[in-house]
Structure 1
Amino acid sequence: MFLPQCRLSSGSGKILEVDSFRLGRLGRQFTFEGIAAAQVSDAIAHWRFDEGSGTTALDSSTNNHAGTILGASYVSGRFDDALSFNGANDFVFISDAQAGGTGESGLDIGTRDWTVSAWVKTVASGMVVTKMGFVGGSNPDGWGVSVSANGTVGAVLHKSGAGTVNIFAGDGATVNDGQWHHIAVIFNRAGSMTRHVDGEPSGTQYGLSSLSGQSIDNTRQLRIGARDQTGDEVYFDGVIDDVRVYARALSVEEIAVLAGVEPPKPPIWSAPVSLVSAYGRIALGNRVHVVGLSDGNLVH
Protein backbone atom coordinates (compact mmCIF):
# COMPACT_ATOMS: atom_id res chain seq x y z
CA MET A 1 0.00 0.00 0.00
CA PHE A 2 1.44 3.36 -1.05
CA LEU A 3 0.26 6.44 0.86
CA PRO A 4 2.11 9.45 -0.57
CA GLN A 5 2.12 12.97 0.79
CA CYS A 6 3.02 15.17 -2.15
CA ARG A 7 3.59 18.83 -3.00
CA LEU A 8 2.06 19.74 -6.36
CA SER A 9 2.91 22.58 -8.69
CA SER A 10 0.35 25.39 -8.69
CA GLY A 11 -0.06 25.15 -12.45
CA SER A 12 -0.08 21.67 -13.92
CA GLY A 13 -0.56 19.74 -10.71
CA LYS A 14 2.62 17.80 -11.47
CA ILE A 15 4.16 16.09 -8.46
CA LEU A 16 7.22 18.12 -7.51
CA GLU A 17 8.26 16.19 -4.43
CA VAL A 18 7.10 13.44 -2.15
CA ASP A 19 7.51 14.46 1.47
CA SER A 20 7.08 10.98 2.86
CA PHE A 21 5.73 7.57 2.06
CA ARG A 22 5.03 4.38 3.92
CA LEU A 23 5.67 0.91 2.61
CA GLY A 24 2.68 -0.87 4.08
CA ARG A 25 4.03 -4.40 4.27
CA LEU A 26 7.44 -3.28 5.47
CA GLY A 27 6.08 -0.67 7.86
CA ARG A 28 9.01 1.69 7.38
CA GLN A 29 8.82 5.48 7.08
CA PHE A 30 11.08 7.42 4.72
CA THR A 31 11.47 11.18 4.39
CA PHE A 32 12.70 12.92 1.27
CA GLU A 33 14.56 15.99 -0.05
CA GLY A 34 17.22 18.27 1.35
CA ILE A 35 18.84 18.51 4.77
CA ALA A 36 16.35 17.92 7.56
CA ALA A 37 16.49 20.59 10.27
CA ALA A 38 17.16 17.84 12.78
CA GLN A 39 20.39 17.12 10.92
CA VAL A 40 21.72 20.59 11.82
CA SER A 41 21.91 19.12 15.29
CA ASP A 42 25.33 20.09 16.62
CA ALA A 43 24.26 23.31 18.35
CA ILE A 44 26.17 23.89 21.58
CA ALA A 45 23.04 25.57 22.96
CA HIS A 46 19.41 25.37 21.82
CA TRP A 47 16.53 27.01 23.65
CA ARG A 48 13.15 25.95 22.26
CA PHE A 49 11.02 27.80 24.87
CA ASP A 50 8.45 25.00 24.76
CA GLU A 51 8.13 24.46 28.52
CA GLY A 52 4.86 26.43 28.66
CA SER A 53 5.21 27.40 32.31
CA GLY A 54 7.78 27.96 35.03
CA THR A 55 10.93 30.05 35.10
CA THR A 56 13.43 27.66 33.48
CA ALA A 57 14.25 27.67 29.76
CA LEU A 58 15.75 24.27 29.06
CA ASP A 59 18.70 23.73 26.73
CA SER A 60 17.98 21.01 24.16
CA SER A 61 21.67 20.42 23.56
CA THR A 62 23.63 18.11 25.85
CA ASN A 63 25.50 21.00 27.48
CA ASN A 64 23.04 22.04 30.19
CA HIS A 65 22.89 25.75 29.37
CA ALA A 66 19.46 26.10 30.97
CA GLY A 67 18.32 29.69 31.39
CA THR A 68 16.34 31.53 34.05
CA ILE A 69 13.30 33.46 32.79
CA LEU A 70 12.77 36.90 34.33
CA GLY A 71 9.43 38.43 33.40
CA ALA A 72 9.05 37.03 29.88
CA SER A 73 5.79 35.15 29.32
CA TYR A 74 4.86 32.12 27.25
CA VAL A 75 2.83 32.68 24.10
CA SER A 76 2.10 30.76 20.91
CA GLY A 77 5.36 30.50 18.98
CA ARG A 78 6.75 29.74 15.57
CA PHE A 79 7.06 26.18 16.86
CA ASP A 80 4.80 25.30 19.80
CA ASP A 81 5.51 27.89 22.52
CA ALA A 82 7.76 30.96 22.54
CA LEU A 83 8.63 33.76 24.95
CA SER A 84 7.24 37.28 24.75
CA PHE A 85 9.47 40.13 25.98
CA ASN A 86 8.05 43.53 26.99
CA GLY A 87 10.98 45.73 25.96
CA ALA A 88 11.31 47.11 29.48
CA ASN A 89 12.66 44.52 31.92
CA ASP A 90 12.11 40.99 30.54
CA PHE A 91 14.97 38.66 29.65
CA VAL A 92 16.39 35.15 30.02
CA PHE A 93 19.85 34.73 31.50
CA ILE A 94 22.45 31.98 31.79
CA SER A 95 25.17 32.75 34.30
CA ASP A 96 28.79 32.96 33.19
CA ALA A 97 29.59 30.10 35.57
CA GLN A 98 27.14 27.91 33.66
CA ALA A 99 27.59 29.27 30.14
CA GLY A 100 31.05 30.79 30.07
CA GLY A 101 34.40 29.61 28.87
CA THR A 102 35.97 29.06 25.48
CA GLY A 103 36.02 25.27 25.69
CA GLU A 104 34.10 22.96 23.42
CA SER A 105 30.68 23.74 24.92
CA GLY A 106 31.40 27.24 26.29
CA LEU A 107 29.39 30.20 25.06
CA ASP A 108 32.33 32.59 24.98
CA ILE A 109 33.41 32.61 21.35
CA GLY A 110 37.17 32.36 21.99
CA THR A 111 38.90 32.01 18.63
CA ARG A 112 36.15 29.90 17.10
CA ASP A 113 33.82 30.47 14.19
CA TRP A 114 30.28 31.05 15.40
CA THR A 115 26.65 31.02 14.25
CA VAL A 116 23.64 32.38 16.11
CA SER A 117 20.06 31.93 14.90
CA ALA A 118 16.55 32.62 16.18
CA TRP A 119 12.97 33.22 15.14
CA VAL A 120 11.67 36.70 16.00
CA LYS A 121 8.33 38.49 15.76
CA THR A 122 8.42 42.21 16.50
CA VAL A 123 7.40 45.69 15.44
CA ALA A 124 10.21 47.20 17.48
CA SER A 125 13.86 46.35 18.21
CA GLY A 126 16.31 45.19 20.87
CA MET A 127 18.92 42.59 21.73
CA VAL A 128 17.96 39.06 20.70
CA VAL A 129 20.86 37.09 22.18
CA THR A 130 24.23 38.31 23.43
CA LYS A 131 27.13 37.60 25.74
CA MET A 132 28.75 40.97 26.29
CA GLY A 133 28.32 44.34 27.96
CA PHE A 134 28.56 47.81 26.49
CA VAL A 135 31.53 48.45 24.22
CA GLY A 136 33.42 51.08 26.17
CA GLY A 137 32.22 49.80 29.52
CA SER A 138 33.96 47.32 31.81
CA ASN A 139 34.72 43.83 30.47
CA PRO A 140 33.10 44.53 27.08
CA ASP A 141 34.59 41.73 24.97
CA GLY A 142 31.95 39.51 23.42
CA TRP A 143 29.34 38.99 20.74
CA GLY A 144 25.72 39.89 20.13
CA VAL A 145 22.80 39.67 17.69
CA SER A 146 19.97 42.20 17.66
CA VAL A 147 17.15 43.79 15.72
CA SER A 148 18.21 47.37 15.04
CA ALA A 149 15.95 50.40 15.32
CA ASN A 150 15.53 50.45 11.53
CA GLY A 151 14.34 46.83 11.56
CA THR A 152 17.46 45.23 10.09
CA VAL A 153 19.50 42.51 11.78
CA GLY A 154 22.33 43.89 13.90
CA ALA A 155 25.47 42.09 15.05
CA VAL A 156 28.63 42.87 16.96
CA LEU A 157 31.96 41.21 17.78
CA HIS A 158 34.38 43.07 20.05
CA LYS A 159 37.87 42.51 21.46
CA SER A 160 39.44 45.20 23.62
CA GLY A 161 42.63 46.52 22.09
CA ALA A 162 42.00 44.72 18.81
CA GLY A 163 38.84 46.21 17.38
CA THR A 164 35.09 46.07 16.97
CA VAL A 165 32.97 44.94 14.06
CA ASN A 166 29.55 46.40 14.76
CA ILE A 167 26.55 46.40 12.42
CA PHE A 168 23.99 48.82 13.86
CA ALA A 169 21.12 50.18 11.78
CA GLY A 170 22.78 48.72 8.70
CA ASP A 171 21.34 47.64 5.38
CA GLY A 172 19.44 44.50 4.46
CA ALA A 173 15.95 43.07 4.87
CA THR A 174 13.78 44.38 7.69
CA VAL A 175 12.09 42.09 10.22
CA ASN A 176 10.02 44.54 12.30
CA ASP A 177 6.71 44.03 10.49
CA GLY A 178 5.00 41.95 13.17
CA GLN A 179 5.49 38.68 11.26
CA TRP A 180 7.69 35.71 12.08
CA HIS A 181 11.19 35.93 10.59
CA HIS A 182 14.19 33.68 10.90
CA ILE A 183 17.42 35.59 11.55
CA ALA A 184 20.97 34.26 11.66
CA VAL A 185 24.45 35.71 11.92
CA ILE A 186 27.59 33.82 10.89
CA PHE A 187 30.90 34.91 12.41
CA ASN A 188 33.54 33.45 10.09
CA ARG A 189 36.69 34.59 11.87
CA ALA A 190 38.95 34.27 8.84
CA GLY A 191 36.33 35.82 6.58
CA SER A 192 33.23 37.90 7.21
CA MET A 193 30.30 38.49 9.51
CA THR A 194 27.21 37.73 7.43
CA ARG A 195 23.56 38.19 8.24
CA HIS A 196 20.67 36.08 6.98
CA VAL A 197 16.92 36.73 6.99
CA ASP A 198 14.43 33.97 6.20
CA GLY A 199 17.16 31.75 4.81
CA GLU A 200 18.71 34.33 2.49
CA PRO A 201 21.90 36.41 2.90
CA SER A 202 20.93 39.95 3.84
CA GLY A 203 22.87 43.19 3.60
CA THR A 204 26.56 43.98 3.45
CA GLN A 205 29.13 41.49 4.72
CA TYR A 206 31.68 42.88 7.16
CA GLY A 207 35.24 41.55 7.31
CA LEU A 208 36.50 40.02 10.56
CA SER A 209 40.19 39.85 9.67
CA SER A 210 41.05 42.39 12.39
CA LEU A 211 39.72 39.93 14.98
CA SER A 212 41.06 36.73 13.45
CA GLY A 213 42.96 34.71 16.04
CA GLN A 214 41.80 36.95 18.90
CA SER A 215 40.34 35.02 21.84
CA ILE A 216 37.15 36.71 23.00
CA ASP A 217 36.01 35.89 26.54
CA ASN A 218 34.19 37.68 29.37
CA THR A 219 32.41 37.13 32.68
CA ARG A 220 29.04 38.43 31.51
CA GLN A 221 25.79 36.50 31.53
CA LEU A 222 24.48 35.20 28.25
CA ARG A 223 21.16 36.93 27.83
CA ILE A 224 18.22 36.46 25.51
CA GLY A 225 16.09 39.56 25.12
CA ALA A 226 18.58 42.00 26.67
CA ARG A 227 22.24 42.85 27.21
CA ASP A 228 24.08 42.32 30.51
CA GLN A 229 24.81 46.01 31.07
CA THR A 230 23.13 47.85 33.94
CA GLY A 231 21.41 50.96 32.63
CA ASP A 232 21.95 50.06 28.97
CA GLU A 233 20.31 46.66 28.57
CA VAL A 234 18.71 47.33 25.13
CA TYR A 235 15.66 45.21 25.98
CA PHE A 236 13.90 43.34 23.18
CA ASP A 237 10.23 44.12 22.51
CA GLY A 238 8.53 41.17 20.82
CA VAL A 239 8.51 37.38 20.68
CA ILE A 240 11.55 35.09 20.38
CA ASP A 241 11.57 31.36 19.59
CA ASP A 242 14.06 28.57 18.87
CA VAL A 243 17.37 30.25 19.71
CA ARG A 244 20.48 28.30 18.65
CA VAL A 245 24.23 28.79 19.01
CA TYR A 246 26.77 26.83 16.95
CA ALA A 247 30.53 26.78 17.48
CA ARG A 248 31.13 26.77 13.73
CA ALA A 249 30.15 28.71 10.64
CA LEU A 250 27.02 27.11 9.22
CA SER A 251 26.71 26.87 5.45
CA VAL A 252 24.19 28.88 3.47
CA GLU A 253 22.28 25.63 2.87
CA GLU A 254 22.13 24.85 6.59
CA ILE A 255 20.84 28.34 7.40
CA ALA A 256 18.16 27.88 4.75
CA VAL A 257 17.10 24.61 6.35
CA LEU A 258 16.78 26.22 9.79
CA ALA A 259 14.62 28.89 8.16
CA GLY A 260 12.42 26.24 6.57
CA VAL A 261 13.69 26.90 3.04
CA GLU A 262 15.09 23.66 1.65
CA PRO A 263 17.02 24.06 -1.60
CA PRO A 264 16.64 21.31 -4.22
CA LYS A 265 19.22 18.55 -4.07
CA PRO A 266 20.70 16.56 -6.96
CA PRO A 267 19.15 13.16 -7.67
CA ILE A 268 20.54 9.97 -6.19
CA TRP A 269 19.38 7.76 -9.07
CA SER A 270 19.21 8.47 -12.78
CA ALA A 271 16.85 5.59 -13.56
CA PRO A 272 13.38 4.75 -12.20
CA VAL A 273 13.44 2.97 -8.87
CA SER A 274 10.55 1.00 -7.42
CA LEU A 275 9.28 1.65 -3.90
CA VAL A 276 10.30 -1.81 -2.74
CA SER A 277 13.79 -1.60 -4.24
CA ALA A 278 14.20 1.79 -2.55
CA TYR A 279 13.83 0.06 0.80
CA GLY A 280 17.22 -0.14 2.45
CA ARG A 281 18.84 2.22 -0.05
CA ILE A 282 17.61 5.44 1.56
CA ALA A 283 18.95 6.25 5.00
CA LEU A 284 16.15 7.04 7.41
CA GLY A 285 15.87 10.78 7.90
CA ASN A 286 17.49 11.65 4.58
CA ARG A 287 15.61 13.36 1.79
CA VAL A 288 15.88 13.12 -1.99
CA HIS A 289 14.32 15.14 -4.78
CA VAL A 290 11.50 13.44 -6.70
CA VAL A 291 10.76 14.83 -10.15
CA GLY A 292 8.26 12.28 -11.36
CA LEU A 293 6.02 9.39 -10.43
CA SER A 294 5.10 6.62 -12.83
CA ASP A 295 3.40 3.26 -12.19
CA GLY A 296 4.44 3.17 -8.55
CA ASN A 297 8.04 4.03 -9.40
CA LEU A 298 9.96 7.06 -8.22
CA VAL A 299 11.53 8.72 -11.27
CA HIS A 300 14.55 11.01 -10.75
Structure 2
Amino acid sequence: MDVTNQTTMKQFSWVFCLRLTLFVIFLTVYLLSLMGNTLIIFILLMDIALQTPMYIFLGNLSFLEIWYITTTVPKLLASCLSQVVTISVSGCLTQYYFFFSLGATECFLLTVMVYDLYLVICSPLRYSLLMSLQMCLWFSAGSWIWGFIAPLPPTILISLLNFCGPQKIKHFFCDSDPIFKLSCSDTFLVETLGYKCTSIMILSSFLLTISSYEYIVVIIIRLSSQKAQKKTFSTCASHLTVVTIYYTTIIFAYVHPPAKHNFTIGKVILVFYCVVTPLVNPLIYTLRNKDVKTAFRKVLERKRLILTRNL
Protein backbone atom coordinates (compact mmCIF):
# COMPACT_ATOMS: atom_id res chain seq x y z
CA MET A 1 0.00 0.00 0.00
CA ASP A 2 1.31 3.42 -0.96
CA VAL A 3 0.61 5.40 2.21
CA THR A 4 2.45 8.51 0.98
CA ASN A 5 0.38 8.67 -2.19
CA GLN A 6 -2.90 8.35 -0.25
CA THR A 7 -1.84 11.11 2.12
CA THR A 8 -0.99 13.35 -0.82
CA MET A 9 -4.36 12.68 -2.46
CA LYS A 10 -6.23 13.47 0.78
CA GLN A 11 -4.28 16.67 1.22
CA PHE A 12 -4.93 17.64 -2.40
CA SER A 13 -8.65 16.93 -1.96
CA TRP A 14 -8.79 19.04 1.21
CA VAL A 15 -6.98 21.96 -0.42
CA PHE A 16 -9.23 21.76 -3.49
CA CYS A 17 -12.39 21.75 -1.35
CA LEU A 18 -11.12 24.76 0.62
CA ARG A 19 -10.32 26.66 -2.58
CA LEU A 20 -13.71 25.80 -4.05
CA THR A 21 -15.50 26.90 -0.87
CA LEU A 22 -13.64 30.22 -0.85
CA PHE A 23 -14.44 30.68 -4.54
CA VAL A 24 -18.17 30.23 -3.92
CA ILE A 25 -18.11 32.58 -0.91
CA PHE A 26 -16.16 35.33 -2.70
CA LEU A 27 -18.23 34.98 -5.88
CA THR A 28 -21.48 35.24 -3.91
CA VAL A 29 -20.27 38.34 -2.04
CA TYR A 30 -19.02 39.86 -5.31
CA LEU A 31 -22.33 39.36 -7.14
CA LEU A 32 -24.36 40.58 -4.17
CA SER A 33 -22.17 43.68 -3.94
CA LEU A 34 -22.60 44.43 -7.65
CA MET A 35 -26.36 43.94 -7.45
CA GLY A 36 -26.74 45.92 -4.20
CA ASN A 37 -24.77 48.94 -5.37
CA THR A 38 -26.34 48.87 -8.84
CA LEU A 39 -29.79 48.74 -7.23
CA ILE A 40 -29.02 51.80 -5.09
CA ILE A 41 -27.90 53.77 -8.18
CA PHE A 42 -31.03 52.67 -10.05
CA ILE A 43 -33.33 53.71 -7.18
CA LEU A 44 -31.63 57.11 -6.84
CA LEU A 45 -31.97 57.75 -10.58
CA MET A 46 -35.64 56.68 -10.67
CA ASP A 47 -36.85 58.78 -7.73
CA ILE A 48 -36.59 62.56 -8.22
CA ALA A 49 -37.13 63.13 -4.50
CA LEU A 50 -33.78 61.44 -3.80
CA GLN A 51 -31.79 63.63 -6.18
CA THR A 52 -30.43 65.75 -3.33
CA PRO A 53 -26.77 66.27 -2.30
CA MET A 54 -26.88 63.53 0.32
CA TYR A 55 -28.10 60.91 -2.13
CA ILE A 56 -25.92 62.16 -4.97
CA PHE A 57 -22.92 61.45 -2.72
CA LEU A 58 -24.42 58.05 -1.89
CA GLY A 59 -24.80 57.32 -5.60
CA ASN A 60 -21.16 58.24 -6.15
CA LEU A 61 -20.15 55.94 -3.30
CA SER A 62 -22.15 53.02 -4.73
CA PHE A 63 -20.68 53.59 -8.20
CA LEU A 64 -17.20 53.64 -6.65
CA GLU A 65 -17.81 50.40 -4.72
CA ILE A 66 -18.72 48.58 -7.96
CA TRP A 67 -15.35 49.42 -9.51
CA TYR A 68 -13.46 49.03 -6.24
CA ILE A 69 -14.46 45.42 -5.69
CA THR A 70 -13.97 44.67 -9.40
CA THR A 71 -10.35 45.85 -9.17
CA THR A 72 -9.32 42.95 -6.90
CA VAL A 73 -11.96 40.22 -6.63
CA PRO A 74 -11.83 38.76 -10.20
CA LYS A 75 -8.12 37.97 -9.71
CA LEU A 76 -8.92 36.61 -6.25
CA LEU A 77 -11.53 34.29 -7.76
CA ALA A 78 -9.01 33.11 -10.35
CA SER A 79 -6.51 32.41 -7.55
CA CYS A 80 -9.05 30.20 -5.79
CA LEU A 81 -9.46 27.99 -8.87
CA SER A 82 -5.85 27.87 -10.04
CA GLN A 83 -2.55 27.61 -8.20
CA VAL A 84 -0.78 29.66 -10.88
CA VAL A 85 -2.34 33.03 -11.76
CA THR A 86 -0.20 35.36 -13.86
CA ILE A 87 -0.31 39.11 -14.26
CA SER A 88 1.98 41.34 -16.30
CA VAL A 89 4.06 44.11 -14.73
CA SER A 90 1.93 46.74 -16.48
CA GLY A 91 -1.24 44.95 -15.36
CA CYS A 92 0.05 44.82 -11.79
CA LEU A 93 0.85 48.54 -11.79
CA THR A 94 -2.57 49.30 -13.29
CA GLN A 95 -4.29 47.30 -10.56
CA TYR A 96 -2.15 49.03 -7.92
CA TYR A 97 -3.01 52.48 -9.29
CA PHE A 98 -6.76 51.93 -9.54
CA PHE A 99 -6.94 50.22 -6.16
CA PHE A 100 -5.35 53.18 -4.37
CA SER A 101 -7.09 55.78 -6.58
CA LEU A 102 -10.52 54.39 -5.73
CA GLY A 103 -9.51 54.07 -2.07
CA ALA A 104 -8.41 57.71 -1.99
CA THR A 105 -11.64 58.77 -3.72
CA GLU A 106 -13.65 56.92 -1.06
CA CYS A 107 -11.75 58.77 1.68
CA PHE A 108 -12.63 62.11 0.08
CA LEU A 109 -16.26 61.12 -0.57
CA LEU A 110 -16.82 60.00 3.03
CA THR A 111 -15.30 63.27 4.25
CA VAL A 112 -17.55 65.30 1.96
CA MET A 113 -20.56 63.27 3.11
CA VAL A 114 -19.88 64.03 6.76
CA TYR A 115 -19.52 67.71 5.87
CA ASP A 116 -22.95 67.50 4.25
CA LEU A 117 -24.35 65.95 7.45
CA TYR A 118 -22.66 68.67 9.48
CA LEU A 119 -24.43 71.36 7.43
CA VAL A 120 -27.79 69.57 7.69
CA ILE A 121 -27.61 69.31 11.48
CA CYS A 122 -25.53 72.34 12.50
CA SER A 123 -26.55 74.93 9.86
CA PRO A 124 -29.99 73.90 8.55
CA LEU A 125 -31.03 77.45 7.65
CA ARG A 126 -27.97 77.99 5.45
CA TYR A 127 -27.85 74.45 4.07
CA SER A 128 -29.38 75.21 0.66
CA LEU A 129 -26.91 78.06 0.22
CA LEU A 130 -23.78 76.22 1.41
CA MET A 131 -24.61 72.89 -0.26
CA SER A 132 -26.38 73.77 -3.49
CA LEU A 133 -26.68 71.22 -6.29
CA GLN A 134 -23.81 72.90 -8.13
CA MET A 135 -21.62 72.78 -5.01
CA CYS A 136 -22.55 69.13 -4.52
CA LEU A 137 -21.43 68.28 -8.07
CA TRP A 138 -18.18 70.20 -7.52
CA PHE A 139 -17.48 68.24 -4.33
CA SER A 140 -18.24 64.96 -6.10
CA ALA A 141 -16.04 65.78 -9.08
CA GLY A 142 -13.27 67.04 -6.80
CA SER A 143 -13.30 63.78 -4.83
CA TRP A 144 -12.82 61.74 -8.00
CA ILE A 145 -10.17 64.06 -9.49
CA TRP A 146 -8.02 64.31 -6.36
CA GLY A 147 -8.54 60.63 -5.65
CA PHE A 148 -6.97 59.74 -8.98
CA ILE A 149 -4.19 62.32 -8.66
CA ALA A 150 -3.01 61.30 -5.16
CA PRO A 151 -1.51 57.84 -6.04
CA LEU A 152 0.22 59.08 -9.22
CA PRO A 153 3.65 59.96 -7.70
CA PRO A 154 4.14 56.55 -5.95
CA THR A 155 2.87 54.70 -9.04
CA ILE A 156 5.31 56.52 -11.32
CA LEU A 157 8.21 55.81 -8.95
CA ILE A 158 7.26 52.12 -8.70
CA SER A 159 7.18 51.86 -12.51
CA LEU A 160 10.84 52.98 -12.54
CA LEU A 161 11.97 50.12 -10.25
CA ASN A 162 13.78 47.05 -11.52
CA PHE A 163 12.27 43.65 -10.75
CA CYS A 164 14.30 40.46 -10.50
CA GLY A 165 14.37 37.07 -8.84
CA PRO A 166 11.36 34.78 -8.29
CA GLN A 167 8.51 37.12 -9.21
CA LYS A 168 5.77 35.65 -7.07
CA ILE A 169 3.40 38.02 -5.29
CA LYS A 170 2.35 36.50 -1.97
CA HIS A 171 -0.94 38.34 -1.99
CA PHE A 172 -4.28 38.27 -3.76
CA PHE A 173 -3.64 41.59 -5.51
CA CYS A 174 -0.77 43.95 -6.35
CA ASP A 175 -0.40 45.77 -3.06
CA SER A 176 2.56 48.02 -2.30
CA ASP A 177 4.55 45.84 0.15
CA PRO A 178 4.58 42.70 -2.07
CA ILE A 179 5.69 44.80 -5.05
CA PHE A 180 8.58 46.29 -3.08
CA LYS A 181 9.75 42.80 -2.06
CA LEU A 182 10.05 41.81 -5.74
CA SER A 183 12.29 44.75 -6.61
CA CYS A 184 16.08 44.54 -6.69
CA SER A 185 16.30 48.36 -6.68
CA ASP A 186 16.56 50.59 -3.63
CA THR A 187 12.92 51.08 -2.60
CA PHE A 188 13.52 53.32 0.42
CA LEU A 189 12.46 56.53 -1.34
CA VAL A 190 9.28 55.16 -2.90
CA GLU A 191 8.33 53.28 0.29
CA THR A 192 8.79 56.42 2.37
CA LEU A 193 6.85 58.57 -0.10
CA GLY A 194 4.04 56.02 -0.38
CA TYR A 195 3.81 55.60 3.39
CA LYS A 196 3.74 59.36 4.02
CA CYS A 197 1.22 60.09 1.23
CA THR A 198 -1.09 57.28 2.34
CA SER A 199 -0.87 58.16 6.03
CA ILE A 200 -1.42 61.88 5.47
CA MET A 201 -4.42 61.29 3.21
CA ILE A 202 -6.07 58.72 5.49
CA LEU A 203 -5.39 60.49 8.79
CA SER A 204 -6.31 63.96 7.51
CA SER A 205 -9.67 62.74 6.17
CA PHE A 206 -10.20 60.73 9.36
CA LEU A 207 -9.47 63.74 11.60
CA LEU A 208 -11.77 65.97 9.53
CA THR A 209 -14.49 63.35 9.88
CA ILE A 210 -13.97 63.05 13.64
CA SER A 211 -13.97 66.83 14.13
CA SER A 212 -17.22 67.14 12.14
CA TYR A 213 -18.84 64.48 14.28
CA GLU A 214 -17.71 66.29 17.44
CA TYR A 215 -19.72 69.34 16.38
CA ILE A 216 -22.65 67.11 15.41
CA VAL A 217 -22.64 65.37 18.81
CA VAL A 218 -22.57 68.74 20.61
CA ILE A 219 -25.64 69.87 18.66
CA ILE A 220 -27.45 66.59 19.37
CA ILE A 221 -26.75 66.86 23.11
CA ARG A 222 -28.12 70.40 23.17
CA LEU A 223 -31.48 69.30 21.75
CA SER A 224 -34.27 69.57 24.30
CA SER A 225 -36.09 66.25 23.85
CA GLN A 226 -34.86 62.67 23.56
CA LYS A 227 -37.12 62.18 20.55
CA ALA A 228 -35.38 65.02 18.69
CA GLN A 229 -31.98 63.64 19.72
CA LYS A 230 -32.86 60.17 18.45
CA LYS A 231 -34.24 61.49 15.17
CA THR A 232 -31.18 63.67 14.57
CA PHE A 233 -28.77 60.86 15.41
CA SER A 234 -30.57 58.48 13.03
CA THR A 235 -29.76 60.94 10.23
CA CYS A 236 -26.04 60.24 10.54
CA ALA A 237 -26.14 56.66 11.93
CA SER A 238 -25.65 54.97 8.54
CA HIS A 239 -22.70 57.16 7.59
CA LEU A 240 -21.15 56.77 11.04
CA THR A 241 -21.37 52.97 10.76
CA VAL A 242 -19.74 52.97 7.30
CA VAL A 243 -17.01 55.37 8.46
CA THR A 244 -16.24 53.23 11.52
CA ILE A 245 -15.86 50.05 9.47
CA TYR A 246 -13.90 51.79 6.72
CA TYR A 247 -11.34 53.64 8.83
CA THR A 248 -10.86 50.77 11.30
CA THR A 249 -9.74 48.47 8.49
CA ILE A 250 -7.82 50.97 6.36
CA ILE A 251 -5.85 52.51 9.25
CA PHE A 252 -4.83 49.08 10.49
CA ALA A 253 -3.83 48.00 6.99
CA TYR A 254 -1.93 51.06 5.77
CA VAL A 255 -1.07 53.55 8.53
CA HIS A 256 2.09 51.86 9.77
CA PRO A 257 5.82 51.78 9.03
CA PRO A 258 6.37 48.91 6.55
CA ALA A 259 8.96 47.17 8.74
CA LYS A 260 6.55 46.94 11.70
CA HIS A 261 3.66 45.44 9.77
CA ASN A 262 2.35 41.89 10.30
CA PHE A 263 1.81 40.90 6.68
CA THR A 264 -0.34 37.82 7.39
CA ILE A 265 -2.82 39.73 9.58
CA GLY A 266 -2.74 42.55 7.03
CA LYS A 267 -3.87 40.19 4.28
CA VAL A 268 -6.85 39.05 6.36
CA ILE A 269 -7.82 42.66 7.06
CA LEU A 270 -7.48 43.54 3.37
CA VAL A 271 -9.70 40.62 2.32
CA PHE A 272 -12.41 42.04 4.58
CA TYR A 273 -11.71 45.58 3.34
CA CYS A 274 -11.71 44.69 -0.38
CA VAL A 275 -14.45 42.05 -0.46
CA VAL A 276 -16.86 42.58 2.43
CA THR A 277 -16.91 46.39 2.81
CA PRO A 278 -18.34 47.10 -0.69
CA LEU A 279 -21.24 44.76 0.18
CA VAL A 280 -21.76 46.12 3.70
CA ASN A 281 -22.07 49.75 2.61
CA PRO A 282 -25.23 49.36 0.46
CA LEU A 283 -26.79 47.09 3.09
CA ILE A 284 -26.24 49.67 5.83
CA TYR A 285 -27.65 52.53 3.77
CA THR A 286 -30.70 50.61 2.55
CA LEU A 287 -31.59 48.86 5.80
CA ARG A 288 -31.30 52.02 7.93
CA ASN A 289 -32.58 54.61 5.44
CA LYS A 290 -36.35 55.13 5.28
CA ASP A 291 -36.18 57.29 2.15
CA VAL A 292 -34.29 54.65 0.17
CA LYS A 293 -36.66 51.89 1.34
CA THR A 294 -39.69 54.03 0.44
CA ALA A 295 -38.24 54.77 -3.00
CA PHE A 296 -37.53 51.06 -3.51
CA ARG A 297 -41.15 50.19 -2.71
CA LYS A 298 -42.29 52.83 -5.22
CA VAL A 299 -40.09 51.29 -7.91
CA LEU A 300 -41.50 47.83 -7.18
CA GLU A 301 -45.03 49.19 -7.27
CA ARG A 302 -44.41 50.81 -10.67
CA LYS A 303 -43.00 47.56 -12.03
CA ARG A 304 -45.99 45.64 -10.66
CA LEU A 305 -48.43 48.05 -12.32
CA ILE A 306 -46.59 47.80 -15.64
CA LEU A 307 -46.65 44.00 -15.51
CA THR A 308 -50.36 44.02 -14.57
CA ARG A 309 -51.19 46.26 -17.55
CA ASN A 310 -49.21 44.08 -19.94
CA LEU A 311 -51.03 40.99 -18.74
Scaled to the shorter chain, the TM-score interval is under 0.3
Hey, which of these two has a bigger chunk of helix by percent? Answer: 2
Hey, which of these two has a bigger chunk of strand by percent? Answer: 1
TM-score, normalization by structure 2: 0.25
TM-score, normalization by structure 1: 0.26
